[in-house]
A and B are shown apart, each in its own frame.
Chain A
């Protein structure tokens, strides 16, 4: 049973960790796992991707039309390759969720989003209702299209593999220009990627302003942490949108998640409940976040965060 995994990478040249989780998930479905790298100017990335563990073959589709991974041409491309595969797996990030269901429409398949567990080759577990319920679903489609969460499948190693590289020569024509790329606005950050950071520290509405996030940054510096936020904090303009953790934001499962001045709404929990250790800092003893935390401190963030920073420095 052959599985094709769509790789997702950062605009620099870093294969995303969620791609490596997708490969490990694919390994549970079939013995023959191929990875697909799509884009333009892929020489450096191809070399890197061919060293990923867990794949036998790396397919490379290089064309200017794929430079921005727009769903229309990329789904057409994968559809042209789909005949050889029983499973097609994509990471459940914005890119995978854009492309995979479109592919499903082309192939007339019901896609299965956000898979967190493989029971067998046709039975999967996925969260519904903002993660408060887990559904076990069985697919009757001959070809199965899955997007998988990075948080529950251990990522394969970045190196040590030796996949053969195969350049795809017959790219399907995609001259329709349904969608034209205009501009990319990346949020700049020197911190680790939210979805792969070992420690995440998130702020909520109680932070009061974007300036106050400096208090979180100082702690993040000590722990090499990524910074996240609740929707209320993002909507208030404290931090950029891609900081949002939750049902409609990023899904994270770090070793340590520190929730500062956020109440713990179910939609927020959807994005962080699989974290190993959760710490809550909140001034309201009744805040629901305490019930979903391992450790909590009741108090004012403006007093506690500087103390925490000092304690971390003194380690």
Chain B
């Protein structure tokens, strides 16, 4: 069984993103970049499936600037076998990413595409579902438990008021909830080994995939959550504030 894992390079989620002074976008120059945490979960799960001999090959793919190579290397240090780098200078929207992934699914013929439910920068939560629709495949979104067996995937999904268990017919697109597992840290020897694993580099322009922008980001602005933070000295004082000042109880 072959698993394809798309991995996105994003601003590290521990870093507070800053808006560019002209409000045209988010400052990414000189900022620490990491693998999207949801994709780390996907890589971890794929590697575990390989260790359990359920998967035979784990291929990772990243789309973006040449630096996405680092993200692929991280995934390979975790245990993925090889990488595909699709280079593009543009910020691509989920529809375009899904179309590019569709191209490589057709080429690579994986049994499962395992990917993050959302990217921690844009939080669109869309690429996996769009890809599943384009392929006519089953989709399992927000998955916190996954069992693969002959031609089927049994999944537990996180839904609005609990969990749901579904059985998907493979091939399928599966998107990860962070609860699926605890991703490992790559060991130094594995980081060294990953440097020798193959990466195939392709320019987006050579693929002939339509990536015309449908959703233009006009401007961005910081959304402050700072409040006054009045520290009260006692529960009585708090009750007084809530009843007489805020009038919420």
A residues sitting closer than 8 Å to B (CB atoms) are 8, 10-11, 16, 68, 70-72, 75, 93-95, 97-98, 100-106, 108-114, 123, 127-141, 177-187, 193, 199, 223, 231, 234-235, 240-242, 247-248, 255-256, 266-267, 269, 273, 276-279, 285, 290-298, 304, 307-308, 311-312, 315
Contacts and interface: CB of A to CB of B under 8 A. Distances in A.
Contacts of B232: 295-297
A185 B249 CA distance: 34
Interface stretch (B63-71, B104-112, B237-245): B237-245
A110 B248 contact: no
B51 interface: no
Contacts of A137: 215-218
B134 A132 contact: no
Interface in B183-238: 213-223, 225-232, 234-236, 238
28 contacts: A95-B160, A101-B127, A105-B98, A106-B133, A109-B214, A128-B26, A130-B123, A132-B17, A135-B217, A137-B218, A140-B216, A177-B169, A179-B140, A179-B168, A180-B167, A182-B165, A193-B161, A231-B178, A240-B162, A242-B158, A248-B117, A278-B227, A295-B232, A296-B231, A297-B231, A297-B234, A308-B238, A308-B239
B242 A183 contact: no
Interface SS majority for chain B: mixed
A252 to B, nearest CB: 13
Contacts of A223: 249
A277 B235 CA distance: 16
B162 A178 contact: no
Interface SS majority for chain A: mixed
A54 B215 CA distance: 28
Contacts of A131: 223, 225
A128 B217 CA distance: 11
B34 interface: no
A32 B248 CA distance: 36
A291 to B, nearest CB: 6
A106 B134 CA distance: 6
Contacts of B172: 178
B94 A266 contact: no
A187 B161 contact: yes
Contact of B123 (A185, A247, A269): A247
A123 B164 contact: no
A129 B218 contact: no
Contacts of B74: none
B16 interface: yes
Given A130-B13, A130-B123, A295 B238 contact: yes
B235 A307 contact: yes
A118 to B, nearest CB: 14
